[in-house]
Structure 1
């Protein structure tokens, strides 16, 4: 595996290959690695090949791959940074090709050398980098670096030279694939598994698609209601809900810790019943996440089921102060208590009235109607998006709750 010096090591190796292969046939040859606008100065007339790294891209083939022989099955490795390097090879002939097209001859020789070196050998890399980059580890990389000709259009070449504001020179592009730079994050490796279960019995198989683990399928309020109220019984249905210890957990955003309740006696593996206690100060209205905690027979640890939503509805009785058409104050006695930050409103007929501020937890809310209209109106209290239950759905057809009316005179 390579380290961040590997990019420079590839460039240095290519420079060495070109120089060693060209020095005997071209007098005064040098191989530079300058940007395009610095590759040839006005006072320079010798033979030169310029090797310019113009682009670095991530290799799609290695982007999520663990390194072979470094990450064993079951371990969580960190993939290396895989890079493809793109070089532009430009030749400058002696005396700037005034007497003969020496640059063309030089470019052909350079391309022939790279054609004959499709893979950077480990010894070539060590010899080229032993001075400037001795610790790049590129020579020990598990995947060899391959050098291939990279077809590039005249338009792309022109953009490269134009970007450096320098006249175009005949060039050839090459790709070096791939450089694997090792991640510095540690690999995670778990301890081996000694047994597959109690008494090394292995996994448990069953002949259907139902979950083998404790699972909730429904949390049902009584009387076909969409939500539950304090002191009402819920029916919790699911799979594998039996065990030596079973609890129902209720989680609400306002609660510091979830509430745990023991189900009623007589529960089965598929059905439990639990009653929400009549504790208005401890159970804020709104939406809860309900799950079951089950310790199964023969196990010493607790399993947690999936979560299902449950709406806990408020209830309210109203007292009226004032007369229409003036200001009327409606005072609601609520259960559960309303917590600070909970939005509470009263829907009287088709009009919504927001409660006066309640900075502390309270069971009393006031609602002000500036221009009241006389009449008898059905009302419902809405807290945290959950309405009080004002429709009796246990009969067919459903009927309104006649107790939730307010008379304004």
Structure 2
């Protein structure tokens, strides 16, 4: 909002409606003319028997919300050399004087003033036809209307400052009124790199034994355009894609690994009981061996869940054991097993003539799975059923069909697949 008179006019509308429908006058307008004015009390409305005056006489900042809209983006000052404070809404409290003056009858003054105060009492919260501040404006906005209790001395000095005789007066405070900036600073540029700093830990009892640091994977997918998108992911998330599909190999970041070490996958049931499975033979990606000289910090381990793995989507851990050290076990690092979306024919996916979209997947469970178009989540139905708008189904855990919601705007919407709270790599965008 940029116009304070909107507040005054909204309050005047409340007063006018109350006077014209008051039970004091039998539910209709009064038998004398009343003007509801927002002018300075010195300026009479003219042509009416009684004037009800609502005058904005004081404005002050609201100290409770003064810094509530601070943003990092605003600190740059935006364009045009504006200072950061220019992008924060101005939070104000407004003080009004409510008084009445009749030409010849104190009864008219007091009747009108009483009706006005009762109307304000019934409207402790007032809606304004303006939105709340950016960046998430909501219309209408709301303010509160409070009857203040100034002292007689304060009111006397106020009327003396106006140069007018003292009148019967009620004082009201309207809070909080936002004078919003016309625009916001441009958004901050996207993050291009992340640095992770950690505190040192106690040195291992035997520095020759492996120590796991994390899992790391390079994610590579195609955006509409088309355009390639590459980023590093740690901890890693991988999926049991078909053998001919690349991109699911991840590295076990560690120190002092040897070729003969074994990798074990750790899963937990609902009671927190751990189960370990040796996945060395099925997950380890062969490297050129032997090394001419073993690396001083250990050999690299590349891993990938095989296409026929029975490991369902979810969150797991990896540990390492050494056959030459019976009973020894390394620390654990996290790894997520994700569902997989077949990107074939993508990245844009179009519907059939019946409005049905179809694409291949892997590792989609019968429960705990969700499908989204952008941020809109679809409703899952029974396997094999024909989806209506806003519904999806998965046949045999390998083929998903869905229909877009009816109110979804036209455009390309990313298909998001999540199983057991693990997200599949981006692969397809539905053309709506």
Q: Tell me the TM-score normalised to structure 2 length.
A: 0.38
The structure with more radius of gyration: 1
Q: Tell me the TM-score normalised to structure 1 length.
A: 0.40
